[in-house]
Amino acid sequence: MTEKISAILQDCESEDVQTEVDDSFIVLSDPDITVAELAAVDAVLRSPRLSTGAVAETFEAEFAAYLGRKYAIAVPSGTLGLLIALAAYGIGAGDEVIASSYSFRETAHAISLCGARPVFADIDYWAGTILPEKVAARITKKTRAIIGGNNNGHPAAWMELRKLAKTHGLILIEDSTEAIGSKYQGALVGTFGDTAIFDFAQPLALTCGEGGMVVTDDIDIAVALRSHRAHRLSERSSVVVSATPPYQAGMSDLSAALGLAQLRRLDEILERRLWSEQLYYKYVQSFEGIKDPYIGPEVTEINWFLYNVHLGTRFSRSSRDAIIEDMRVEQVEAVAYCNPLHLQRHYFDFGYRRGDYFVTEKVADRAVALPFHTNLTEDQISFIVSTMKDASINVGAGAAIY
């Protein structure tokens, strides 16, 4: 067996299987990895346990402490985190859950995965977050929960959503899969929902490859979350099925080690991303009619998920796509920020069609996400902005954005 492994490693090191990396291509995301992360992963690789264990538990404890919440439960993704959260509240077939269709990460898929009906509400034109008054109009006798998202790092209108949930006796779930470190009325995102969901996949600021965290202050919900997530290590040899068959959705110590190292460096990572944001704004002012990135009046601090550019009203979805293709030709990875959920094939079965959510569609058709990470240089950001400006002129709509 040792000889076979050695042979595989030698093959991997041979020129025949080496993958050439094009350093000229500017990628959308690039994790902020230092010797701290490498050392943390190396320590787990040298330990007798790679799957869920003490490191994952430490990550949970420190993440809960970071937010000031009582319980944190590590999971493989934000989608699975929301799925087990809905299960913990007993939400399933026959229930309705109100959420936004406008999101880069499709965490809301968990609603239909648990058997409930997703009911979408439109968004605020500037913030991109779900509008409380639109949510209110969608509440029925079947509604069990509201999911508010901190889209692209911008906090939702949490005080209004909380008031709405309390008035109607609904569960309020906070989707913070695109946000970490942002603050609303001085408090960190992840502290407003009865339960909050985080995701640690790329291109999030805190990444461990794939992973997520569910946080809550309710001990009964925390117990239910753990029961739905996975059996405890001591229970794995048992043939007895408990009252709650788990999803086996734990986080490995290997992923947790990376996430824990990133959490301990989070302030540094966010500060470095802020530098990239400031450079973007310095160069993006060359566009006609540029406005400052929108920040709501009750938002204390924003840490953007991606650097989003909203094209002017004279741009169409096809011209947006042409700009993205032009930028790829010039070795810049740009993407459409959102393909609204209600326009995806799965949701056609629920009766949703184009035209149902005017603001969501209008914003999504003209939103372009540009490379945003700590490894960008000033020259690269200058090139990205000038390339997008040229591409927007090439499509014949001019260079104005807002």
Domain assignment present for 8: no
107: CATH: 3.40.640.10
Alpha carbons 63 and 267: distance in angstroms, whole number: 13
Residue 180 tokens read as 């970490």
Is residue 120 domain-shared with residue 186, that is, in the same domain?
Answer: yes
Q: Are residues 319 and 255 in the same domain?
A: no
Q: For the chain, how many structural domains are there in total?
A: 2
Domain that holds residue 106: 35-264
CA distance 148 to 166: 14
359 lies in a domain?
A: yes
Q: Which of 148, 150, 82 is nearest to 305 (CA)?
A: 150
Do 310 and 210 belong together in one domain?
A: no
Whether residue 20 lies inside any domain: the answer is no
* Same domain assignment for residues 332 and 254: no
What pTM does this model have? 0.90
Same domain, 87 and 120: yes
Residue 339 belongs to domain with CATH number:
3.90.1150.10
Q: Does residue 352 form part of some domain?
A: yes
Question: 241, 264, 287 — which closes off a domain?
Answer: 264
Q: Are residues 278 and 234 in the same domain?
A: no
In the listed set 243, 264, 285, which residue is the last one of a domain according to the structure?
Answer: 264
Instruction: Give the orientation angle of helix 378-394 with respect to helix 317-329, to 10 degrees.
Output: 130
Shared-domain flag, residues 51 and 193: yes
Q: What is the pLDDT of residue 242?
A: 63
DSSP states of 133-199 as a string? HHHHHH--TTEEEEEEE-GGG----HHHHHHHHHHHT-EEEEE-TT-SS-EETTEETTSSSSEEEEE
Residue 14 in domain: no
Q: What is the mean pLDDT of each run of 10 residues along the chain (402 residues)?
A: 44 42 84 96 92 92 98 96 96 97 82 95 95 98 97 96 98 96 97 97 92 97 93 58 78 96 97 95 75 86 92 87 95 94 90 94 93 96 92 71 54
192 inside domain:
yes
Of 214, 234, 264, the domain-final residue? 264
Say if CB 380 and CB 390 are below 8 A apart. no
Does 179 fall in a domain?
A: yes
Q: Does residue 130 lie within any of the structural domains? A: yes
Residues 232 and 355 in one domain: no
> Which amino acid is present at 208?
C
What is the per-residue pLDDT for 293? 78
What kind and span of H or E run contains 43?
helix 35-45
Predicted local distance difference test score (pLDDT) of residue 138: 97
Co-location of 134 and 95 in the same domain: yes
